[in-house]
Amino acid sequence: MKRSAIPRRGTSRDRLLVTPEGIALPITVAGRGSRVGALILDFIVILVMMIVMAVLLNSIAGGVGGIARAIAPDSATAHAVQFLQILWIIAIFLFRNAYFLFFELGPRGATPGKRLAGIRIAARDGGRLTAEMVIARNLLRDVELFLPIIFIMTAGVASGMGWLAAAGWFAIFLLFPLFNRDSLRAGDVIAGSWVVERPRRRLEAALSVGPAAVPRPDGMSGDPQRRDYRFSEAELAVYGEYELQALERVLRDDRGQAMDSVYQTIAHKIGRNDGWNDERAFLEAYYTQLRARLEAGMRMGRRKADKHSGESR
Amino acid sequence: MNAISGAPGTAATGAGLAANAIARAALRSDRFRLEREADWQRLEAIVAQMEKGRLRRLSDDDLLALPGLYRTVASSLSIARETSLDTATLAYLEVLVQRAWFVVYGPRSSLWDWLRGFLGGGWSAAVRAIWLDVLIALAVMVAGTIVGWLLVAHDPDWYFTLISPEMAGSRVPGASREVLHGSLFGNAGQSGMSVFAAGLFSNNAQVSILAFALGFALGVPTLLLLVQNTAVLGALLWLYSGQGLLLDFVGWLAVHGTTELFAILLAGAAGLHIGRSMAFPGQRPVLQAASEAGRRAAVVMSGVVLMLVVAAMLEGFARQLVDQTFGRLVIGGCMLAIWCAYFFAFRGRGAQVRRA
């Protein structure tokens, strides 16, 4: 799928983040849906790893276990089985606590699930993401997710109080991201981190450096088929930055119908009709010259936001 | 604005296609872009490699160039915002700076570096920074122990409210001195102790993480958890002192207990620190106060997990090997002295580590 080059701003999840260099960067807070998806993916990964581990240890233990039963409990094989048990307990502890830590401490700042969902963690203040932040946000994860299950298990499935406590717990922690603007988890609040979308965008070719867009100094086109369009100052003065961006979008999307109607509009507005059947070249030339005019204005400190506004200082 | 004042003439004198393209570009902003595109693409290639986790494949030159390239591209973005209306370039630069920012300001210290800074002063400095909470948690734990003792002394039925029958085993009110003595001594040479130790560690670590995390609810559940756990301790103390085995029990407990109780104390203090900073943020915004406290507490908590590993080792092995009260008391006392010295006397390079 080709993503449009023009970012569509203005959703409720867009924030401005200021880097230590003082540059404001637009950043998008990850959606709650993609975060839940990432969590489920991670749980699936953990579950698969645990099953593989269990099968592996079981097959090793099963091999020696039969012999161990036959001989004395203090023998070498009994110790081997004990060692496997220790391995299992430690592995469970690590899966539960260190999985998220390990991956989020890497340069990618994301667990495999988060990576697939296209999100990652970052420091909320624009500074460095430190190891302490990652530790803090993951220590709370355990309590947010697993504690209600323990409540119900210890209180018994039939216990009303157990369910009530679990429900209260869910209301505080699990639903916490629903009740704040940046969908922060309790762990994010403690750590000063947040989960943001991981952007990816290719550098698209500049429209204004193609052969069509560059007028030859001698006024002749290199290609005899091409006509050279020149627009007067008055013809360029009708539009502003907003229209320039819209025009850029149309040129990049390159759809015939849209191009036609935009050509009609512009040609009508400036009272020209010499670009008939050569709309793309006409529009590219208009785009380049309009941009040249607006950018020259910018350098002088004049900006024209759109066609309705006058040039502001 | 000298960055964009490169005149077409000077650019064209350079040989090659790129210079040609720069010279042919009609717009100043396009010349600006074409002149810098190589830097942008080099940064993008480096960042893409790092995002894929292929740090090893990057050459040293690239790694050294990364911070400089990041600043170059960041300043390109600032200039482009003021001089260019090419939305594609602006969007690309914004994304590229953001991706590079993730990498440049990512968790840079390797686990090894972090561990060295952590043990070499970061941990003890963090513990000292929450001294008030440590004192509060200590007071609560002492109070919990006394309450447990008094409750059971007043009415022995409380014993089973505090301690489940499975956990109590033979250690019930009215048990004979021999039974209680047997529960403290004579377990040497028993097999399966290492499994027991690993299980203990896993369980205790989970409990202390709980005590820490409950601090989020303004610290109240943390306090309750501390009281509940130490009330059990008080009840057991009462039970053994009734048969004149108080010192033996303390010795039995001290082997690992000084480390383990210290760890639980720190976990509770860390939770309390978060709860307190959220309830009373002072002049700072609540979110900022919470995250500052959270980061400090996270350092303390990483240490707590480490202490619990030590405690489980002591409980699983040392206690079974040393079968007499004096030896046990010496081990426990030494551990306590070591921890106290490390936390409150050892300064290390703590200040540096915390600022880094």
| Residue pLDDT, tens place only, A233-251 | 777 777 888 888 888 888 8
Q: If DSSP codes are grouped into helix, strand and coil, which group holds residue B232?
A: helix
Which range among A140-154, B146-160, B281-295 shows the weakest confidence by mean pLDDT? A140-154
A272 pLDDT above the threshold of 90: no
More confident position, A72 or A107:
A107
Residue A106 CB partners (closer than 8 Å, separation 6+) = B53, B107
What is the C-alpha to C-alpha distance for residues B318 and B332, in angstroms, rounded to an integer?
A: 10
- Using a CB–CB cutoff of 8 Å, tell me whether B66 touches chain A: no
More confident position, A193 or A163:
A193
What is the C-alpha to C-alpha distance for residues B315 and B257, in angstroms, rounded to an integer?
A: 8
What is the C-alpha to C-alpha distance for residues A118 and A31, in angstroms, rounded to an integer?
A: 10
Q: If DSSP codes are grouped into helix, strand and coil, which group holds residue B159?
A: helix
- Using a CB–CB cutoff of 8 Å, tell me whether B105 touches chain A: yes
B11 pLDDT above the threshold of 50: no
Which range among A133-147, B16-30, B161-175, B262-276 shows the weakest confidence by mean pLDDT? B16-30
Judging contacts by C-beta atoms under 8 Å, the chain A residues touching residue B78 are 23
More confident position, B172 or B59:
B59
What amino acid occupies position A267? A
- Using a CB–CB cutoff of 8 Å, tell me whether A97 touches chain B: yes
What is the C-alpha to C-alpha distance for residues A150 and B279, in angstroms, rounded to an integer?
A: 27
Out of A190, A199, A299, the one facing B95 most closely (by C-beta) is A199
Q: Share the mean pLDDT of chain A.
A: 76
For residues B123, B131, B314, B197, the Cα torsion angle rounded to the nearest 10 degrees is -80
At A196, which helix (H) or strand (E)? strand A193-197
Question: How many other β-carbons are positioned within 10 Å of the β-carbon of residue B64?
Answer: 10
DSSP codes, A83-146: HHHHHHHHHHHHHHHHHHHHHHTSTT-S-HHHHHHTEEEEETTSS---HHHHHHHHHHHHHHHH
Surface of B (109-148) touching A: CB under 8 A: 109, 111, 114
What is the C-alpha to C-alpha distance for residues B258 and B339, in angstroms, rounded to an integer?
A: 9
Amino acid A207: pLDDT:
65
What percentage of residues in chain A have a pLDDT greater than 70? 75
Q: Which two tokens stand for residue B54?
A: 């292929």
What is the C-alpha to C-alpha distance for residues A206 and A291, in angstroms, rounded to an integer?
A: 12
Judging contacts by C-beta atoms under 8 Å, the chain A residues touching residue B289 are none
Q: Given pLDDT bands bounded at 50, 70 and 90, which one contains residue A69?
A: low
* Average pLDDT of the segment spanning B119-137: 88
A184 pLDDT above the threshold of 70: yes
- Using a CB–CB cutoff of 8 Å, tell me whether B15 touches chain A: no
Amino acid A44: pLDDT:
92
Phi/psi zone of residue B186: left (φ > 0), alpha (ψ -120 to 50 degrees), beta?
Answer: left
Surface of A (16-75) touching B: CB under 8 A: 19-21, 23, 25-27, 73-74
Whether B74 sits inside 8 A of A213 (CB atoms) is no
What is the C-alpha to C-alpha distance for residues A89 and B200, in angstroms, rounded to an integer?
A: 10
Strands A119-123 and A24-28: unpaired
Amino acid B142: pLDDT:
93
Whether A206 sits inside 8 A of B86 (CB atoms) is yes
Whether B214 sits inside 8 A of A74 (CB atoms) is no
Which range among A19-23, A80-84, B35-39 shows the weakest confidence by mean pLDDT? A80-84
Amino acid B337: pLDDT:
92
Rg (CA), chain A: 31
Instruction: Report the Cα A194 to chain-centroid distance in Å.
Output: 12
Q: Given pLDDT bands bounded at 50, 70 and 90, which one contains residue A210?
A: low
Out of A7, A189, A299, the one facing B287 most closely (by C-beta) is A189
Whether B298 sits inside 8 A of A139 (CB atoms) is yes
Q: Which two tokens stand for residue A242?
A: 């907003």
Amino acid B22: pLDDT:
61
* Average pLDDT of the segment spanning B347-356: 50
Whether B101 sits inside 8 A of A299 (CB atoms) is no
Q: Given pLDDT bands bounded at 50, 70 and 90, which one contains residue B192?
A: low
Question: How many other β-carbons are positioned within 10 Å of the β-carbon of residue A222?
Answer: 10
ipTM: 0.76
Q: Which two tokens stand for residue A279?
A: 């709309």
Comparing CA positions, the residue from A18, A132, A208 lying closest to residue B122 is: A132
Amino acid A302: pLDDT:
78
Judging contacts by C-beta atoms under 8 Å, the chain A residues touching residue B101 are 19, 25
- Using a CB–CB cutoff of 8 Å, tell me whether A122 touches chain B: yes
List the single best residue of A9, A14, A23 to mutate versus B (max B Cβ within 10 A): A23
What percentage of residues in chain A have a pLDDT greater than 90? 3
Residue of chain B nearest A130, judged by CA positions: B107
More confident position, B178 or A207:
B178
Phi/psi zone of residue B175: left (φ > 0), alpha (ψ -120 to 50 degrees), beta?
Answer: beta
Judging contacts by C-beta atoms under 8 Å, the chain B residues touching residue A127 are 105
CA distances from B100 to A186, B44, B221 (A): 28, 8, 42
What is the C-alpha to C-alpha distance for residues B259 and A277, in angstroms, rounded to an integer?
A: 85
Instruction: Report the Cα A56 to chain-centroid distance in Å.
Output: 37
Q: Share the mean pLDDT of chain B.
A: 78
Judging contacts by C-beta atoms under 8 Å, the chain A residues touching residue B21 are 209
Q: If DSSP codes are grouped into helix, strand and coil, which group holds residue A24?
A: strand
Q: Given pLDDT bands bounded at 50, 70 and 90, which one contains residue B322?
A: confident
Tens of pLDDT along A9-62?
Answer: 556 778 888 888 888 888 888 888 888 899 899 989 989 998 998 888 888 777
Q: Which two tokens stand for residue B83?
A: 């001089």
Q: Which two tokens stand for residue A280?
A: 């793309």
More confident position, B211 or A36:
A36
Comparing CA positions, the residue from B273, B296, B152 lying closest to residue B223 is: B273
Judging contacts by C-beta atoms under 8 Å, the chain A residues touching residue B28 are 295, 299
| Residue given tokens 């240890």 in the structure block | A57
Judging contacts by C-beta atoms under 8 Å, the chain B residues touching residue A93 are 201-202, 205-206
Out of B33, B198, B295, the one facing A191 most closely (by C-beta) is B295
Which range among A6-20, A129-143, B171-185, B248-262 shows the weakest confidence by mean pLDDT? A6-20
Which range among A92-96, A98-102, B135-139, B313-317 shows the weakest confidence by mean pLDDT? B313-317
* Average pLDDT of the segment spanning B237-261: 84
* Average pLDDT of the segment spanning B217-221: 78
